[in-house]
Structure 1
Amino acid sequence: MISTAPSLPPAAEMRRAYLASDAGYDGVFYLGVRTTGIFCRPSCRAKKPRPENVEFFADAREATFAGYRPCKRCRPLEAPGTPPPWIARLIADIERDPSRRIREAELRARGLDPARVRRWFKQHCGMSFAAYCRGRRMNTALQAIRRGESVIDLAIGHGFESESGFRAAFERSFGHTPADGSGASAVDPVRVAWLDSPLGPLLAAARDAGIVLLEFTERRMLEAQFDALRRHFQVPLVPGDHPLLRQLKTELAEYFAGARRAFTLPLVYPGSDFQRAVWNALLQIPYGATRSYDDLARAVGRPGACRAVGTANGRNRIAILIPCHRVVNKNGQLGGYGGGLWRKQRLLDLEKGIEPVS
């Protein structure tokens, strides 16, 4: 497999991107600052260097071999979107015991600002930290009820003072009260889970009918996507596991290793007739190929409707599996991508056999 370094955007474009701290260019290029000897991501929030003191690199390796050391503020050697260690530890604690309640006093005892924790979960998970913990707790309870465990045992085991308090919390989450060993099978919430990838963490969601969400976690529209899922399915979103999420993890690992060209997972993507037509057309673009927005507009019978096609393309909720990354501008330039242009380039390179993602 031939490896070639990705080409850099025009210098003026890179200058504009780093001066604007544009995260969409993270991974597309890095900038070395001659006066300090450090290199940064374009999104770095440190004081901007003068343009004449900056040189650009296609990857972190080039910057390192040129003698620059990584910035301690933007940490350019880490995969963009990687949860910071303090969040990773918090999530690990929740997963070890979903029934445990982590209150603000405990967060402060860990040296964490509760407001900062809330902001991070709201931005990256579309819900507050309390809602995330509650959803994880309730989803665990739902699975236990399906196995036939008693409501009173679950109430005590999940830290509720009474059975009635547990029933009320369950009803708020799932729309009806639980029943001992029955009634829970009708509940099919949207299960949300984190998946690691070589391009940073992905937030995935599934119902029994199929995968309903796959997005890179720092995407700005993530909260809007969650709202759309709640509106479409009229069910709660809860952190939890699902067989389709486990299958998704396996198939994505095979894809990034270059061993899978097509996914076999069922997909559920409600939307307007036009949006679904666009998303269906995306599914017809072969692995390793690209289409222009003009091509896509003609494929859905709307020649000239490039802007509308681009909007529908941007509202795709299932990245990679519905391959919106395979749509580029007519002149061959990348165009836009909600997960960041650097990810779009890496995905296209992977599929063309240019540069394996590792």
Structure 2
Amino acid sequence: MLFDLPGPATLYDALVNRDPDYDGRAYVGVSSTGVFCRLTCPARKPKPENCTFYTSVGECLQAGFRACKRCHPLAPAAEAEPAIKALLAALNARKGHRWREPDIARMGLDPSTVRRAFNRHFGMTFLEMARLERLRDGHVALASGHKVIEAQLDAGFGSPSAFRTAFSRLMGLAPGSFAADGLIKADYIDTPLGAMIALCDRTHLHLLEFADRKALPAELRRLHQAFKGRIGIGRQAPMDGLERELEAYFSGRAAQFKVPMAFHGSDFTKSVWHALVQIPAGETRSYSAIANEIGRPAAVRAVARANGANQIALLVPCHRVLGADGSLTGYGGGLWRKQKLIEIERQYA
């Protein structure tokens, strides 16, 4: 049964009073600790400004929070299903492990049964949960001053050859099919929020996406057709500058990007992307505000579609667009990344 959450003030009162009526129906993510809890959690109560409320465990995990070790919000599902309990214990014991379905089978569990059970309780598969765990651990380690190269993506680009293989899978091509004299070349850039794939020609950036974005293969195929198959693997001149600008952005030094960008879309879509570029770091807009800015106030849904079709993440900051009520809305890189990006940009306000 779906449950519409009341306002944050009501939920915060429920958290302070440990109201059992909300147990299992609402959860709180605490930005100051990175933990999410039941509203009945006995831990010390956070400040209201550090609280975000969610309707499910899955939403909390996707937003980048880890489960509280005092109120154990994953416990009800674990007690209800032995397979979930066993896999959660294994996930906790094998930090950083790249889980695959054969690992599940070796534990004597049926992968399809496990997939259904995790989707039923958490709205995601066990493999998706394990990936989120690794990504979050990498982000936390990097924020603490450690270098994190691996454990960022399921594909895991540890070398140029590993990237070539992973990119070949995304494109649906054999590794040897890429043009040696490609007009546009692909390479990867590691960031605190996961590896990104960049496609550049000699002067412009054409695509920048998190490598686990579900729409990425379709985007790559469209560019493959647009450039008549002349896509290669390697570096073009704009990539070095892009990498420096991304490092400055994530380290808190600067939020300006000067790499020239090439947009592939209709005139309307391009007008939305140009409007997104004008949103300063540390600020947000609604879809209706963007529609008004481009002179198309009735085209709110079309603006939302154009926002979702953005192919140059971060530089075209579609993550700065929120719902009319200020809530996080869909983001191709994952809602947890959207929240992290907004948190990062508060220092630039």
TM-score normalised per structure 2? 0.62
Q: Call closer, same or farther: CA 1:276–1:75 in 2, change over 3 Å.
A: closer
Counterpart position of 2:130: 74
Q: Does 1:127 align with 2:172?
A: yes
**Structure 2: where are the runs of 5+ without partners?**
1-30, 35-49, 80-84, 93-98, 100-113, 137-150
Alignment equivalent of 1:216, drawn from 190, 210, 215: 210
Q: Call closer, same or farther: CA 1:338–1:193 in 2, change over 3 Å.
A: same
Alignment equivalent of 1:342, drawn from 327, 336, 348: 336
Deviation of 1:4 (Å): 3.2
Q: Call closer, same or farther: CA 1:16–1:193 in 2, change over 3 Å.
A: closer
Q: Does 1:197 align with 2:233?
A: no
Counterpart position of 1:275: 269
Counterpart position of 1:353: 347
Counterpart position of 2:315: 321
How big is each residue's C-alpha offset from its partner over 1:287-318, in whole Å with a ceiling of 9 and x where there is no partner? 11100001000011110211100000111100
Cα contact 1:194–1:203 (8 A) shared by 2: yes
Corresponding letter in the other structure for 1:4: S
How big is each residue's C-alpha offset from its partner over 1:47-90, in whole Å with a ceiling of 9 and x where there is no partner? 44997xx9xxxxxxxxxxxxxxx9998165421782458x545x
Deviation of 1:234 (Å): 3.5
Q: Does 1:238 align with 2:294?
A: no
Counterpart position of 1:4: 32
How big is each residue's C-alpha offset from its partner over 1:191-250, in whole Å with a ceiling of 9 and x where there is no partner? 101110000010111012300000011111111111222343435222111121111111
Cα contact 1:292–1:330 (8 A) shared by 2: yes
Secondary structure at the residue paired with 1:74? helix
Counterpart position of 2:24: none
Alignment equivalent of 1:29, drawn from 45, 65, 68: 65
Q: Does 1:298 align with 2:317?
A: no
Which structure 2 residues correspond to residues 87-166 of structure 1 after superposition, within 5 A? 88=157, 91-93=159-161, 121=167, 125-128=170-173, 130=174, 132-135=175-178, 138-139=179-180, 142=181
Counterpart position of 2:243: 249
**Structure 1: where are the runs of 5+ without partners?**
19-24, 55-69, 99-116, 143-187
- Distance (whole Å) between structure 2 residues aligned to residue 299 and residue 285 of structure 1: 11
Q: Call closer, same or farther: CA 1:30–1:228 in 2, change over 3 Å.
A: same
How big is each residue's C-alpha offset from its partner over 1:264-300, in whole Å with a ceiling of 9 and x where there is no partner? 1100012111001000100111111100001000011
Cα contact 2:206–2:262 (8 A) shared by 1: yes
- Distance (whole Å) between structure 2 residues aligned to residue 287 and residue 235 of structure 1: 36
Which structure 2 residues correspond to residues 162-173 of structure 1 after superposition, within 5 A? none
TM-score normalised per structure 1? 0.60
How big is each residue's C-alpha offset from its partner over 1:145-197, in whole Å with a ceiling of 9 and x where there is no partner? xxxxxxxxxxxxxxxxxxxxxxxxxxxxxxxxxxxxxxxxxxx5211011100
- Distance (whole Å) between structure 2 residues aligned to residue 77 and residue 219 of structure 1: 17
Corresponding letter in the other structure for 2:273: W
Q: Which deviates the most, 222-231 or 292-301?
A: 222-231
Deviation of 1:262 (Å): 0.7
How many corresponding residue pairs? 250
Secondary structure at the residue paired with 2:344? helix
- Distance (whole Å) between structure 2 residues aligned to residue 269 and residue 217 of structure 1: 19
Corresponding letter in the other structure for 1:26: Q
- Distance (whole Å) between structure 2 residues aligned to residue 346 and residue 283 of structure 1: 19
Greater C-alpha Rg: 1
Q: Which deviates the most, 214-223 or 345-354?
A: 345-354
Counterpart position of 2:11: none
- Distance (whole Å) between structure 2 residues aligned to residue 272 and residue 49 of structure 1: 37
Counterpart position of 1:165: none
Counterpart position of 1:263: 257
Q: Call closer, same or farther: CA 1:121–1:210 in 2, change over 3 Å.
A: closer
Q: Call closer, same or farther: CA 1:261–1:267 in 2, change over 3 Å.
A: same
Q: Call closer, same or farther: CA 1:304–1:121 in 2, change over 3 Å.
A: same
Cα contact 1:232–1:270 (8 A) shared by 2: no
Q: Call closer, same or farther: CA 1:75–1:320 in 2, change over 3 Å.
A: closer
Q: Give the CA RMSD over aligned residues.
A: 3.5
Which structure has more RCO (C-alpha within 8 Å, separation ≥ 6)?
A: 1
Cα contact 2:279–2:285 (8 A) shared by 1: yes
Counterpart position of 2:326: 332
- Distance (whole Å) between structure 2 residues aligned to residue 73 and residue 345 of structure 1: 17
Deviation of 1:92 (Å): 4.5
